Homo-oligomer: A and B are copies of this chain.
């Protein structure tokens, strides 16, 4: 709340995400981000007074987006009221598909200071706890969760290890497991 002028901050964060993705995580300098965002370095430092704050901003924006999507999907007042597990799987798979660029900035943050990613880890922990609470089959939850983590990891490292058909099979299986159905054997 209380955000009247998101325009510049958003532009900066978007620029950082793009830059990390297509120039490599190593080229995420303040000057380069500023240039990409179309402002000066001084201007960037006005909005994010240190590089650490920029990194925090990236993590927060990333988290906020996913949380908002999850909330929108599962909150009955806002839409379909999908169950948590299905929404989590569906949204995660969307984030892992070919149309979405990987979050390469994560490597920049990690190289800068691993602690920057603590909020991300804590979020994942809370999410896994919620998933466990929502379904009786622990092994099922863990399998689904870690397969998705694996897909994320593959995406992040830019490794395309599966064909389209294999990916479809994985997706179908995960969605089936999320709904408590039998996995597809093919």
Q: Which residue of B lies closest to A108 (CB)?
A: B111
Q: Which residue of B lies closest to A183 (CB)?
A: B139
List A residues 23-46 near B (Cβ within 8 Å): 24-26
A33 to chain B, nearest CB (A): 15
Q: Which residue of B lies closest to A136 (CB)?
A: B185
Does A110 count as interface, using CB distance less than 8 angstroms? yes
Does A170 count as interface, using CB distance less than 8 angstroms? yes
Interface size for A (C-beta < 8 A) is 47
How far is it, in angstroms, between the C-alpha of A169 and the C-alpha of B149 when the chains are bound? 17
Contact yes or no, A138 B107, CB < 8 A: no
Q: Which residue of B lies closest to A151 (CB)?
A: B146
Stoichiometry (number of copies): 2
Does A179 count as interface, using CB distance less than 8 angstroms? no
List A residues 80-137 near B (Cβ within 8 Å): 104, 107-108, 110-114, 117, 120-121, 124-125, 128, 137
The answer to whether A138 and B166 touch (CB under 8 A), given A107-B107, A128-B161, A157-B117, is: yes
Does A69 count as interface, using CB distance less than 8 angstroms? no
How far is it, in angstroms, between the C-alpha of A150 and the C-alpha of B180 when the chains are bound? 21
List the 9 shortest-distance A-B pairs measured between CB atoms, nearest first.
A149-B150, A146-B150, A153-B153, A150-B150, A121-B159, A111-B111, A146-B147, A26-B111, A107-B110
Q: Give me 8 A-to-B residue pairs in the complex whose CB atoms sit less than 8 angstroms apart, sorted by A's number.
A: A24-B113, A25-B111, A138-B186, A139-B170, A139-B173, A139-B183, A149-B149, A150-B153
